[in-house]
Amino acid sequence: MLGKTAVEVRADGVAVVTINNPPLNLLSVDGIFYSVDLSSYFVLSCSVHDYSPTDAWNYQLVILSLKESIEGALIRDDVKAIVITGSRGKFSAGFNVTAFGGTQGKMTKMELGFMSIQIVTDTLEAARKPFVAAIEGPAFGGGLEIALACHARISTSSAQLGLTELQYGILPGLGGTQRLPRLVGLSKALEMILMSKRVDGKEARILSLVDTIAPADKFLEVACQWALDIVERRRPWVISLYRTDKLESLAEARAILKSARLEVQGQNPNVVHPLVCIDVIEQGIVSSPRKALRKEAEALQELRQSSTCRSLVHVFFAQRQIFKIPVISKMNLLPRKIVKVAVVGGGLMSSEIATMLVLSNYQVILKETNKKHLIDAISIVEENLQNRVKNGRATQEGLEKSLSLLEGVLDYGKFKDVDLVIEAESESLSLKQEIFSNLEKCCPLHCIFTSNISTFSVKLVGERTKSQHRIAGIHFFCLSPVMPLMEIVHTESTSPQVIVDLIDFGRKMRKTPIMVSDWKGYSVTSMLLTYLHVAVLLAERGVDVYRIDQALKSFGMQVGPFRMIDMVGLQIFVVISKKFVESLPDRSYKPHLIPILQQDNREGERSGKGFYNYDNCGKVSPDPELSEYMKTARDASNVTIDSKLTKLSDSEMVEMILFPALNEACRMISDGVVIRSSDLDVASVLGMGFPAYRGGIIYWSDSFGSKYICSRLENWSKAYGGFFQPCNYIMERSAKNISLTSETRQAKSQL
């Protein structure tokens, strides 16, 4: 039965309690437990079985089944110690997060307090028999918190441990705020909790989060022996909640908490849950951990109903949906191994792609036709890798290993064992078609041919081959090395196997791959470009560049648009913009300012100057000289300062810059470019730096409604041209007053 925990009492007197709620042994199956008033139940009864009318939900709430199992083991005379583990190699991935973000149910403040205090603290941690957690696979959120309350933890080296609750806008609710700092020290605990950081068993051992690591075939045995050793007093019986030896002194702790508060306020000024979490941790340190447990439960009850929580839970599930490709997912195809990748073309983009590939341990052939261009391209890869060493993200040894994976070539001689080709040549259809014909002649039959950013449809690029089934597009997002997004462009002929291979390739590159249809060469990149273009339009009409960046940062974007252009590099921005402007002139803005900056070698962060100044220590500062460039750009293009725009409030500015990007996103939904609208929420978060706590760009639109968005775009389009013209999707929905997130009548993607 779902949600059951199994108990096996061994001959040596150890009861092994196994959480058995496959596939991830979540502690609850769904949000149902929030619709039950547990507080009144637990006042009446302490046994799950006494509560017969809702026996079914008892098993929905796995933690109650766990409580029953451990209470059963505690009263048995033949049980000396208890080991808690999870079935099928997974300890527990914590609570089902669908239970969070809703406002349903009558959960009172007592309920999570009950679980945290009566079950985890008073039944488990305070038991007269020792508990040991045997951890394999994931131990996240509430799963790890149960392990923290055990008197010792044994894990495999590949186990994954973390208190990931802040990722959902809540805080650890089963005592994690109190026990983790006491086990690993306050600094480390804050780092793990505030960043929802996951560590493997090896790192957990270094942190003293686990007591020892053991091989997968022995860890349960080791845990049982450890439990018996505690009984025999050969190992310490440690109650985490009252440990103080790992905690910093009170003065140090206060200083650490103060700087953590400043940091989270600086990073995320619009969310409260990290600050609430720090308050709860502090209370445990300066007052009493038990009082803090109650505060933790109350805070969880409050936070789980917030819009931040709802948005973050939406993003969590949207991210998981992305990997589900209707039809193909059901085929159960396994990805083929990609070992060697060829990059064709020696421009800046090819060097960036080659850098990412060697960093992901792929063997790489970089092909150019011109020797000098090849040498230049390889030196850019070297420079990229050197920069990683300089800023401490890699070692010299790592750099040498990465470089050893790269080989520059001038012909196709070494393509006979290549598994994947990424063509990144300049924008000439005939050149691209010729390259694809050559690839067909020189590469093995299984090799996948892809084209990187192109204004031409992928189908057209591969037209002269007989290999349509193995042709696709790969778009690395502009900020490729930093943005964890990758687009896979499929045609109607791309085979399901190739799609599965490319999704796996994306995952191995640590990117989230989003599927888009081969549609006139425009894709998610156009959403980002529109956002950047409007920002430039406003700046050229007199709005201060740094004010624009600050307004967008305050809204929650990871970086403002001009800082982002500097990070991408003006050269790459121009290359991508040019294609966008050429193919969609009515939907793009041709920036006048950028070429003027480039004339003075202001190429962005890489050159030390762009919209900002960058010093050698990585300090970024506004440049007072920028206003001169602005003036020159205005004079050269006859653009004048627009007092209406310079008087925009910050929130009006945010809308004016983000609604056109939303407009682009809506076009992609209605044209069936993406599989589902939530894919664009993920794309905006991972590709544009849109704040996840606002749920992504489409989800966010619900806070305005289609009518408002449409009317704003219409007004701007009257004043500033077709660039702002709302698409049919928005106009139709506005006319009917339907939300932009509603899936009704959404055009179907080809997949």
User: Coil, helix or strand for 316?
Assistant: helix
Q: Which is nearer to ligand 3HC, 112 or 665 (by Cβ)?
A: 112
- The CB-of-8 to ligand 3HC minimum distance in angstroms stands at 25
Cis upstream peptide for 496 (omega within 30°) = no
Q: Which is nearer to ligand 3HC, 26 or 132 (by Cβ)?
A: 26
- The CB-of-321 to ligand 3HC minimum distance in angstroms stands at 7
- The CB-of-426 to ligand 3HC minimum distance in angstroms stands at 39
Q: Rounded to the nearest 5°, which phi and psi values hold at 16?
A: -100, 115
Please give the Cα distance from 342 to 357 (Å, whole number): 10
Please give the Cα distance from 638 to 55 (Å, whole number): 75
Q: Which is nearer to ligand 3HC, 42 or 704 (by Cβ)?
A: 42
- The CB-of-708 to ligand 3HC minimum distance in angstroms stands at 32
- The CB-of-289 to ligand 3HC minimum distance in angstroms stands at 16
Q: Rounded to the nearest 5°, which phi and psi values hold at 134?
A: -110, 105
- The CB-of-74 to ligand 3HC minimum distance in angstroms stands at 23
Question: If you search the block for the tokens 């003293």, which residue do you land on?
Answer: 208
- The alpha helices in 516-560, defined as continuous H runs, are 524-540, 545-555
Characterize the bridge pairing of strands 471-476 and 131-135.
unpaired
Q: Which is nearer to ligand 3HC, 141 or 274 (by Cβ)?
A: 141
Please give the Cα distance from 475 to 43 (Å, whole number): 58
Residues 38-97 that bind ligand 3HC (CB under 6 A): 93-97
Residues 119-178 that bind ligand 3HC (CB under 6 A): 138, 140-142, 145, 164-165, 168, 172-174
89: number of Cβ within 10 Å: 14
Residues 174-213 that bind ligand 3HC (CB under 6 A): 174
Q: Which is nearer to ligand 3HC, 61 or 186 (by Cβ)?
A: 61
> How much is the CA Rg of the chain, to the nearest whole Å?
28
Please give the Cα distance from 326 to 370 (Å, whole number): 44
**Alpha-carbon distances, residue 110 vs 40, 207, 284 (angstroms):** 10, 33, 19
Residue nearest to ligand 3HC (CB): 141
Annotate each residue in 320-339 with x if it binds ligand 3HC (CB under 6 A) or - if it does not, as one string: x-------------------
Q: Which is nearer to ligand 3HC, 97 or 674 (by Cβ)?
A: 97
Q: Which is nearer to ligand 3HC, 145 or 549 (by Cβ)?
A: 145
- The CB-of-167 to ligand 3HC minimum distance in angstroms stands at 6
Please give the Cα distance from 187 to 207 (Å, whole number): 11
- State the amino acid at position 175 in one-letter form: G
Which among 68, 125, 136, 165 is annotated as catalytic? 165
- The CB-of-26 to ligand 3HC minimum distance in angstroms stands at 6
Question: If you search the block for the tokens 């061994």, which residue do you land on?
Answer: 10
Question: Does residue 603 carry a catalytic annotation?
Answer: no
Characterize the bridge pairing of strands 138-140 and 160-162.
parallel
DSSP category for residue 604: B
The beta strand positions in 543-618, using DSSP E, are 612-614
**Alpha-carbon distances, residue 82 vs 16, 492, 510 (angstroms):** 6, 56, 39
Which among 68, 125, 145, 664 is annotated as catalytic? 145
Q: Are 151 and 242 in contact (CB under 8 A)?
A: no
Q: Which is nearer to ligand 3HC, 312 or 424 (by Cβ)?
A: 312
Q: Is 661 left (phi over 0), alpha (psi -120 to 50) or beta?
A: alpha
Q: Are 213 and 156 in contact (CB under 8 A)?
A: yes
- The CB-of-168 to ligand 3HC minimum distance in angstroms stands at 6
DSSP category for residue 617: T
Q: Which is nearer to ligand 3HC, 257 or 313 (by Cβ)?
A: 313
Instruction: Give the list of residues 6+ apart from residue 693 with CB closer than 8 angstroms, or none.
Output: 169, 268, 270, 271, 308, 311, 312, 556
Computed from CA positions of residues 77, 81, 87, 88, in that sequence, does the dihedral angle turn out positive or negative? negative
Q: Are 537 and 724 in contact (CB under 8 A)?
A: no
Which of residues 26, 532, 626, 751 is near ligand 3HC by CB under 6 A? 26
Q: Which is nearer to ligand 3HC, 79 or 120 (by Cβ)?
A: 120
Is position 3 an interface residue for ligand 3HC (rule: CB under 6 A)? no
Question: Does residue 252 carry a catalytic annotation?
Answer: no
**Alpha-carbon distances, residue 622 vs 563, 612, 692 (angstroms):** 10, 5, 27
Q: Are 547 and 580 in contact (CB under 8 A)?
A: no
- State the amino acid at position 620 in one-letter form: V
- The CB-of-142 to ligand 3HC minimum distance in angstroms stands at 4
- The CB-of-280 to ligand 3HC minimum distance in angstroms stands at 12
DSSP category for residue 674: B
Computed from CA positions of residues 509, 515, 519, 523, in that sequence, does the dihedral angle turn out positive or negative? negative
Annotate each residue in 86-115 with x if it binds ligand 3HC (CB under 6 A) or - if it does not, as one string: -------xxxxxx-----------------
650 by Cβ neighbours in 10 Å (0-12 / 13-18 / 19+) ranks as middle
End-to-end CA distance of the chain: 36
Q: Which is nearer to ligand 3HC, 29 or 698 (by Cβ)?
A: 29
Residue numbers annotated as active site: 145, 165
The residue ranges that bind ligand 3HC (CB under 6 A) are 23-24, 26, 93-98, 138, 140-142, 145, 164-165, 168, 172-174, 317, 320
